[in-house]
Amino acid sequence: EVQLVESGGGLVQPGRSLKLSCAASGFTFSNYYMAWVRQAPKKGLEWVATISTSGSRTYYPDSVKGRFTISRDNAKSSLYLQMNSLKSEDTATYYCARHYYSSYILDYWGQGVMVTVSS
Amino acid sequence: DVQMTQSPSYLAASPGESVSISCKASKSINTYLAWYQEKPGKTNKLLIYSGSTLQSGTPSRFSDSGSGTDFTLTIRSLEPEDFAVYYCQQHNEYPLTFGSGTKLEIK
């Protein structure tokens, strides 16, 4: 059974940093692109980042480019999201998701972890 | 970026009825559209992708039609477990973009 479990969320002040983790199990992690997607309170879904199988390629929307960094450790079946220079508008539930191989389809999602950016 | 416009944002129906949700892309995405279901306490579920391909486990009462810029998710003979929030997503290019969601509630 595919499982994605996020951790590392919490309350952080504007301008500070936070690192999220996602522990994957139930599939060969190194064979799949992985992504982070977020959902602000009462809002819709926003894609945040994607990383290739080896980690050599990363993709971001303009809203987080230069502030967020996605990375992975295939030996640990783990995905990470380093978030710097956090803003109040980054407040959201962050979901780890698996791409269907290298496609742009997200076939499995985690339960999500809440990040609140506030002073 | 491809903007996805989803409507309606809210829909009320009774079990047994059929409903349709619209998703429009700001430019052609061929048939590269996915639909997801969001339910409280559960992980988001991929229902349909590439316009019409049912993900394994998706009941056949779910279907999608359309190509290019206009797509419609139809759910026939609603079951109690279908009441949820539905999102469309274009999977044609980066950045990946989603519709704003449709909340389907029991009438």
How confident is the prediction along chain B (107 residues), in pLDDT tens digits per residue? 999 999 999 999 999 999 999 999 999 999 999 999 999 999 999 999 997 899 999 999 999 999 999 999 999 999 999 999 999 999 999 999 999 999 999 99
- Kindly identify which residue of chain B lies nearest to residue A36, measuring between CA atoms: B96
Q: How far apart, in whole angstroms, are the C-alpha atoms of residue A97 and residue A101?
A: 12
pLDDT score of B52: 87
- CB of B86 within 8 Å of a chain A CB? The answer is no
Which residues in A lie closer than 8 A to residue B1 (C-beta atoms)?
Answer: 61
Contact between chains at B98 and A106 (C-beta distance less than 8 A): no
- Kindly identify which residue of chain B lies nearest to residue A97, measuring between CA atoms: B44
Mean pLDDT of A35-56: 96
pLDDT score of B51: 76
Which residues in A lie closer than 8 A to residue B56 (C-beta atoms)?
Answer: none
Among A30, A114, A97, A96, which residue's Cα sits nearest to residue B34?
A97
Contact between chains at B91 and A104 (C-beta distance less than 8 A): yes
The Cα of A110 is separated from the nearest Cα of chain B by a number of Å equal to 6
- Kindly identify which residue of chain A lies nearest to residue B41, measuring between CA atoms: A111
Q: How far apart, in whole angstroms, are the C-alpha atoms of residue B52 and residue B34?
A: 8
Q: How confident is the model at residue A55 (pLDDT cuts 50, 70, 90)?
A: very high
Q: Which residues of A touch B (CB under 8 A)?
A: 4, 35, 44-47, 50, 59-62, 95, 97, 100, 103-111
Mean pLDDT of A76-100: 97
The Cα of A19 is separated from the nearest Cα of chain B by a number of Å equal to 22
pLDDT score of A77: 98
* Number of neighbouring beta carbons within 10 Å of residue A54: 9
pLDDT score of A101: 82
Which residues in B lie closer than 8 A to residue A48 (C-beta atoms)?
Answer: none
- Confirm if A48 and A34 have CB atoms less than 8 A apart: no
- Confirm if B11 and B75 have CB atoms less than 8 A apart: no
For chains A and B, CB pairs below 8 A equal: 56
pLDDT score of A32: 96
And the tokens for B76? 């026939």
